[in-house]
Structure 1
Amino acid sequence: MHAFTSYAPLPRTQIEVLPGNAEIIKGDSLKLTAIFKGEIPEKATLLVRKENRSVWEEDLLTRISNNEFSYIFKEVKKSFAYYIKSAGCLTKEYEVIVINRPVVKKLKWTLVPPSYTRLSKRIITENIKQVEILVGTRILLELESNKELERAWLVWEDARLVKGKVDKKKAFLRSKVFKNREFFIKLKDTQGIENEEPISYKIAVIKDELPQVKIDWPGQDVEAPEKMRLPLKVSLWDDFGFTKLWLIYRINEEKWKKRAIEIPHKNEA
Structure 2
Amino acid sequence: MAQGTESTVLERPQLALSRIRQLRSRRRLMRILTGGLRWFAVVIAAIWVMFLLDWIAVLPQVLRGVQGVGVIAILAITFRAILLAARVPAPEERLAALVEKASGDLEDSLITAVQLTDPENPRRHLYDPDLIVRTVEIAEQRMQSLRPGRLLSWSRARAALGVLVLLITPAIAGGLLRPDLAQTFFARDMLFGNQPWPRAYELVIENPARMDMVVAKGTSLVVDILKTRGGNARAYLDVFFPEQEGRREMNEEVSLDRKGIGGFRHVFQNLQRDINFRVKCGDFTGEWYSVRVRARPRVEEIVLQYEFPEYTGLSSDRQDALVQGGHVKAPIGTSISFTALTSIGVVSAVRMEARPSGDGEVVTESELTMEGGDKLRGSFVAETDARWWIALESGEGFRNENPISWRIAVIPDRAPEVSIVQP
Same fold (TM over 0.5): yes
Corresponding residue of 2:316: 120
Superposed displacement of residue 213, structure 1:
3.3
Structure-to-structure mapping, 1:10-21, within 5 angstroms = 10-17=198-205, 18-19=207-208, 20-21=211-212
Secondary structure in structure 1 of the residue aligned to 2:250: coil
Corresponding residue of 2:223: 32
Secondary structure in structure 1 of the residue aligned to 2:414: coil
Rate the CA distance shift 1:99–1:92 in 2: closer, same or farther, 3 A: same
Distance 1:213 1:38 in 2: 92
Corresponding residue of 1:131: 328
Query: Which one of 265, 286, 294 corresponds to residue 70 of structure 1?
Result: 265
The Cα offsets for residues 199-251 of structure 1, whole Å up to 9 and x where unpaired, read as 1111222233322335667x7xxxxxxxxxxxxxxxxxxxxxxxxxxxxxxxx
The answer to whether the 8 Å contact 1:13/1:89 transfers is yes
Please say which of residues 36-45 and 177-186 is displaced more in the overlay.
36-45
Distance 2:236 2:396 in 1: 34
The Cα offsets for residues 23-42 of structure 1, whole Å up to 9 and x where unpaired, read as 21222221112232331335
From the CA coordinates, give the structure whose radius of gyration is larger. Answer: 2
Query: Which one of 174, 195, 202 corresponds to residue 400 of structure 2?
Result: 195
The Cα offsets for residues 148-188 of structure 1, whole Å up to 9 and x where unpaired, read as 32222221223121222223222222110122221111112
Higher strand share: 1
Distance 1:83 1:134 in 2: 60
Rate the CA distance shift 1:25–1:124 in 2: closer, same or farther, 3 A: same
Rate the CA distance shift 1:65–1:100 in 2: closer, same or farther, 3 A: same
Within the alignment, does 1:162 sit opposite 2:353 as a pair? no
Within the alignment, does 1:207 sit opposite 2:402 as a pair? no
The Cα offsets for residues 29-68 of structure 1, whole Å up to 9 and x where unpaired, read as 2111223233133531123233423332222112223332
Distance 1:45 1:89 in 2: 11
The answer to whether the 8 Å contact 2:224/2:263 transfers is yes
Corresponding residue of 1:89: 284
Distance 1:189 1:111 in 2: 29
Root mean square deviation of aligned Cα: 2.6
* Structure 1 portions without partners, runs of 5+: 220-269
TM-score by length of 2: 0.46
Structure-to-structure mapping, 1:137-156, within 5 angstroms = 137-156=334-353
Distance 1:51 1:110 in 2: 44
Distance 2:231 2:309 in 1: 76
Distance 1:216 1:141 in 2: 44
The answer to whether the 8 Å contact 1:27/1:76 transfers is yes
Superposed displacement of residue 114, structure 1:
0.9
The answer to whether the 8 Å contact 1:151/1:165 transfers is no
Rate the CA distance shift 1:28–1:123 in 2: closer, same or farther, 3 A: same
Distance 2:409 2:242 in 1: 45
The Cα offsets for residues 106-150 of structure 1, whole Å up to 9 and x where unpaired, read as 21111111134241242223xx35332111111112111123322
Distance 1:149 1:59 in 2: 35
Higher helix share: 2
Rate the CA distance shift 1:120–1:65 in 2: closer, same or farther, 3 A: same
TM-score by length of 1: 0.70
Distance 1:77 1:133 in 2: 40
Within the alignment, does 1:48 sit opposite 2:244 as a pair? no
Query: Which one of 252, 271, 282 corresponds to residue 57 of structure 1?
Result: 252
The answer to whether the 8 Å contact 2:352/2:364 transfers is yes
Structure-to-structure mapping, 1:103-118, within 5 angstroms = 103-116=298-311, 117-118=313-314
Within the alignment, does 1:172 sit opposite 2:368 as a pair? no
The answer to whether the 8 Å contact 1:153/1:173 transfers is no
The answer to whether the 8 Å contact 1:82/1:95 transfers is yes
